[in-house]
Structure 1
Amino acid sequence: MTISSISPSAPPAKGAAGDTPLRRLRPWLAAVLLTLSAASTGLTSPPVQAAAAIPEHGLSPGLRDSLREALAEPEAFEDPIDALHWVLSMQQRLERYMPDRAARIDLLRKVRREATRTGLAPELILSVIQVESAFKPTAVSHAGARGLMQVMPFWKREIGEPDDNLLDQDTSLRYGATILAHYLKREKGDITDALARYNGSLGKTWYPERVMRAWTTRWWYQAPAPFVAERT
């Protein structure tokens, strides 16, 4: 079971960011459609050889092989109209962290790409980024974790390449999403344990609770009814 099938059932708490009426977003439709169209026609980033974000040394050959195989899979994109509604909704919620609209849309396109590739909910990836780095691509923790998804440098030695730049947006997303998807599979869909493993705090719930709180209060999303998308 993938995380995309376990979206929070409760709507955002009162006062949380919600969907913006599409009529207010019409001036941006053309720009976003062009961005998504470019993505869907094969606009890709250099491949990364590995992924992760947690201190768990001594990886087994099986884990290394599974991660490398996952990273080698071709990228896939969903219906651009569905993606458009999602981007238009999410880009407003992201404004408090990223003032530049073009940068927001670019990041959201990449998040959606990684979500499609790994089977994760894109809202989960956004929630992890909010908790880990507050959307600062150059963030470095006191423990040495780097980038949007706070990947530990040792992962480059374990399953990556020495020259991988963990402060690079694409690299961080590729590493983080792949490892999180792996842990979700390893925990048989248990999102609490998967998130705890990602953070390196298995057996504790404070980190999964923070991520889920971010999901339900800021990034929760419900796709519009099909007839709404068609009419728009």
Structure 2
Amino acid sequence: MSRRLCGLALLSLLLAGPVWAGAQREEQLAANVATAMSRSIADVNAPRLVFDNPQEGQQWLREMSQRLEKRIPDAWMRERLLTAVHYEAMRAGLDPQLVLGLIQVESGFKKYALSPVGARGLMQVMPFWVSSIGTAQHNLFDLTTNLRYGCTILRHYLDLERGNLYRALGRYNGSLGRPEYPNLVVGAWRSHWQWSAPSSLQQTAGH
């Protein structure tokens, strides 16, 4: 299949609606893993952009906000979401643009998205994770809580799969071994969210 046809196929799948993470399986976590994940979830800080160069951060925020405008018309909400995504992704050691691609596929950026089996919020987190690594007070429809859970879970799967992104994404979706979901997320990431700082800002950061 040509690259153009692949792109059209990806677009049609993305437009068809969210791809729920509801098939995610509850698992018995090793005690040290559960403790580490619980600490990550409990470590609550005010979200902020994590850039060495503040100008680079503002440029990223402007460009990502423009790309997100059709889905979230309110500028304040867009910037709040993007700042939280950047912070939670970076603290989990993830690419923020990858996380944006995953959110696009999972929920279409709908904060209150609810799957038929109960997966919740932007990153479609299953409620069993609250029992495993959180507390009963955690609301998975809360923007920052949902992002913190989702990024922590994806980081866990990446560690479990020794950095294999496609297998980690398969676990996240509950479709390990099938290519459709990882291809959708990576396709959304690369086609819509990939970003690199302009050379002028990179040079400024280097001085």
TM range (shorter): 0.7 to 0.9
Report if aligned partners of 1:110, 1:170 keep a CA contact under 8 Å in 2: yes
Alignment of 1:144-163 (within 5 A): 144-163=118-137
When residues 73 and 97 of structure 1 are mapped into structure 2, their CA distance, relative to the original with a 3 A threshold, is same
Aligned-pair CA distance for 1:228: 7.2
SS of 1:222 mapped into structure 2? coil
When residues 227 and 150 of structure 1 are mapped into structure 2, their CA distance, relative to the original with a 3 A threshold, is closer
The one-letter amino acid paired with 2:26 is E
Aligned-pair CA distance for 1:56: 2.2
Unaligned runs of 5+ in 2: 1-6, 9-22
Aligned-pair CA distance for 1:134: 0.4
Counterpart check, 1:180 vs 2:158? no
Report if aligned partners of 2:41, 2:134 keep a CA contact under 8 Å in 1: no
| Matching residue within 180, 184, 187 for 1:210 | 184
The one-letter amino acid paired with 2:77 is A
Unaligned runs of 5+ in 1: 1-12, 15-52
Moved over 3 A (4+): 69-76, 226-230
Equivalent position of 2:51 in the other structure:
78
Aligned-pair CA distance for 1:74: 7.7
CA distance in 1 between partners of 2:194 and 2:70 (Å): 16
Report if aligned partners of 1:54, 1:152 keep a CA contact under 8 Å in 2: yes
| Matching residue within 116, 125, 132 for 2:90 | 116
Equivalent pairs counted in the alignment come to 181
Counterpart check, 1:54 vs 2:24? yes
Aligned-pair CA distance for 1:183: 1.2
Aligned-pair CA distance for 1:82: 1.7
Aligned-pair CA distance for 1:68: 2.0
